[in-house]
Amino acid sequence: MRLDGRTALVTGGTQGVGAAISEALARSGADLILHGLRDDDLCQKTVERCRKHGVNVATVFVDLMRPTSDAVGELFSLAHRAAESIELLVNNAGSFIDKPFLDMDWDTYERTMRLNASSGYFLTQAFARRWIERSIQGRVLFTGSINGQLAESDHTAYDTSKGAVWMMVRSLCVALAPHGIRVNSMAPGLVVTPLTAPTLENDAQAMHWMKLHTPNGQVPTADVCGPAAVFLLSDEATHIHGQTLLVDGGMSVWQQPDLPAIFRR
């Protein structure tokens, strides 16, 4: 699966799942525009790893928690200053800024929806208009989550935003497939990223609990997400539209994990 000759914009592409996707795309030959919030050590390390694969890598920095129209317009403009033609769009930017439902406030909810859902929706619109105008058969990949299907009690805003992504991919498929534009998503389960590592690495019980609830018993690094992204953006996936590929070790299909022996006595 090769992406030579194509350029990808990866939002949130400098760390975590986004960095894993970025490096996998670079390994497959795609030039990159990596979007992030700031130019920090994580960003520079990701850029260095990607450039080792012999591709061009540019960076752009925009806060996608700002009002959506301003932020998306700025990102779209900066990306096309870095590269005239961008054929691949990866809407990966997202964060976990949730609160318990009874403590939720308008600002936290709206920032969550802006970053995790609205920015990708309107960035896809901006790209689609340009692609249709120029007869480019673009490809869009969203990063969803198993939280788009499986709820957690204190993560209502995050789960709602990821549920929106799940349906957004289907709706945009119907809208854009007639124009030759493919839209799909990838939904990771729990993976180790800078966001999750502090909890997982310092809480052996939490790590054990997560492994217990995953059929293959693994909580991997974000690198497992890269190959799935490459596949969904590649020519090999040409007839795949509006789908979400779960990369979760089977967590989403297990109705009731097997109880440890101590509970079966």
The answer to whether the beta carbons of residues 206 and 213 sit under 8 Å apart is: no
CATH superfamily name and code, 7-247: NAD(P)-binding Rossmann-like Domain (3.40.50.720)
Least confident of 13-17, 128-132, 253-257: 253-257
pLDDT at 237: 98
pLDDT at 264: 56
pTM, entire model: 0.94
Q: Which amino acid makes up residue 30?
A: A
Q: CA dist 217 to 120, 232, 253, 258, Å?
A: 32, 25, 14, 12
For the chain, which residues make up each domain, given as ranges? Answer: 7-247
Tokens linked to 254: 């297990």
- What is the per-residue pLDDT across 50-98, written as a single tens digit (0 to 9) for each? 999 999 999 999 999 999 899 999 999 999 999 999 999 999 999 887 7
Of residues 264 and 23, more confidently modeled: 23
Question: What is the set of active-site residues?
Answer: 158
Q: CA dist 261 to 59, 99, 254, 265, Å?
A: 51, 35, 18, 7
Least confident of 11-25, 63-77, 205-219: 205-219
